[in-house]
């Protein structure tokens, strides 16, 4: 039976860059492992080579838990990496390559857990649905959205789900904190357009859309979004104060985040809405004022803040800018406190007595948004014990991505405890 590091290495060697060649080879590998373990994987495609695998492992209760992960990865430039990004090389106690953290390492932990349980004849305490999805690194149209709309029956009986990004250790000042995600910010990716009057670049502009758009984007980029503490983020901040023995000053959260270092990163991007200009497109010749200009903005809003976010954004943009959504997803929130959160926390503490689980809200987004549409409560829980010198947040979409072998083995033990 393959161990977790070997599975992770194998998965990384499949180039599943999105956009790119598709997830099919990796999905076929996953399906083969599951079938060899006696499960009956369902493999389907939303488009050629955009492949997803779903399987169900019967347990003692039909109240099912979903474990989902994505097989696609973001691009990687080999020239920027110390080791080839799709080598899957195991060196220095780590598995190296694109997707090691986001999130083929987590998929490997899920697979190793299931394979180990099947080999030992262990039956989970509840049904477990396993989903290995396409297209998370884009909109999910070819992955989770397609799965819940076209293959809804595969998720019958599922009440809760776990996936990225949570359950990892954060070492700071002798404390080992494990954030468990109970929600994430909503997504509002927008295309902005300014219309104006085309003309010669040498003459006074009647209505230059490039300038109009530039001014609007400057207002958006300079805006200081107000602090909005959701209950879960407030609970996180309170717990961090209790763990460190020094209460966090709610009136100066930015300074407190800096003071707390890695622990501060757990709430620094989760106390506000945000909007970042990311793409620009205007004009076709240096001496021609174009009739329109376009930009894209990555907007994120906290649970319950969608209306306020959009109203503020429209004020910043002004009446001459039109916007349309490229991707709009609500901000899902799972119950906290809850008995299931306690189960997740308990499985961590059982493997690491020094673990201090805390609630957490992700600043970005995951496939949990799609599953929330069909009533599944999503928690970020991909357990991983990390070395203190590893910048976990920097690994996401960064160069030289890698994951410790010992961390993967720890996560496999935690998942086994959770399921049994």
Catalytic positions, written as ranges: 72, 136
CA distance 232 to 239: 11
CA distance 348 to 179: 11
CA distance 65 to 313: 38
CA distance 121 to 114: 10
Q: CA 335, 185, 8, 119: dihedral to nearest 10 degrees?
A: 20
The separation between CA 121 and the C-alpha centre of its own chain, rounded to angstroms, equals 32
CA distance 97 to 99: 6
Helix (H) or strand (E) holding 297: strand 292-301
CA distance 382 to 237: 21
CB contact at 8 A, 381 and 82 = no
CB contact at 8 A, 366 and 145 = no
Parallel, antiparallel, or unpaired: how do β-strands 292-301 and 355-362 relate?
Answer: unpaired
CB contact at 8 A, 360 and 182 = yes
């Amino acid at each position: 039976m393959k161990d977790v590091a070997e599975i992770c290495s194998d998965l990384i060697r499949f180039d599943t860059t999105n956009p790119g060649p598709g997830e099919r080879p990796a999905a076929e590998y996953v399906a083969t492992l599951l079938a060899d373990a006696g499960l009956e994987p369902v493999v389907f495609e939303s488009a050629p080579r955009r492949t997803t695998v779903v399987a169900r492992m019967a347990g003692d209760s039909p109240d099912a838990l979903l474990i989902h992960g994505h097989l696609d990865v973001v691009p990687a430039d080999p020239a920027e990496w110390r080791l080839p990004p799709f080598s899957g090389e195991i060196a220095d106690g780590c598995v190296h390559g694109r997707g090691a953290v986001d999130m083929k390492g987590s998929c490997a932990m899920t697979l190793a857990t299931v394979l180990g349980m099947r080999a030992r004849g262990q039956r989970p305490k509840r049904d477990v649905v396993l989903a290995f999805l396409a297209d998370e690194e884009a909109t999910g149209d070819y992955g989770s959205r397609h799965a819940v709309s076209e293959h809804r029956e595969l998720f019958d009986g599922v009440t809760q789900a776990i996936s990225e990004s949570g359950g990892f250790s954060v070492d700071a000042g002798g404390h080992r904190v494990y954030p468990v995600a109970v929600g994430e910010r909503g997504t509002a990716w927008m295309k902005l357009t300014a219309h104006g009057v085309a003309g010669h670049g040498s003459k006074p502009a009647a209505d230059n859309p490039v300038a109009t758009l530039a001014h609007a984007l400057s207002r958006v980029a300079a805006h200081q979004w107000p602090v909005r503490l959701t209950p879960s983020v407030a609970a996180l901040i309170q717990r961090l104060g209790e763990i460190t023995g020094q209460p966090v000053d709610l009136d100066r959260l930015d300074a407190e985040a800096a003071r707390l270092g890695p622990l501060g990163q757990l709430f620094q991007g989760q106390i506000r809405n945000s909007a970042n200009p990311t793409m620009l497109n205007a004009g076709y010749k240096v001496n021609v004022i174009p009739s329109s200009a376009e930009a894209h903005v990555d907007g994120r809003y906290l649970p319950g803040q969608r209306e306020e976010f959009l109203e503020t954004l429209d004020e910043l943009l002004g009446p001459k800018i039109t916007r349309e959504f490229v991707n709009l997803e609500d901000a899902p929130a799972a119950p906290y406190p809850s008995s299931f959160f306690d189960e997740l926390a308990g499985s961590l503490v059982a493997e690491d007595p020094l673990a201090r689980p805390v609630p957490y809200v992700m600043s970005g987004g995951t496939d949990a948004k799609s599953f929330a549409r069909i009533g599944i409560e999503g928690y970020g829980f991909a357990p991983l014990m990390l070395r203190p010198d590893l910048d976990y947040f920097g690994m996401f979409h960064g160069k030289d991505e890698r994951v410790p072998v010992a961390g993967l083995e720890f996560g496999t033990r935690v998942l086994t405890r959770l399921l049994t």
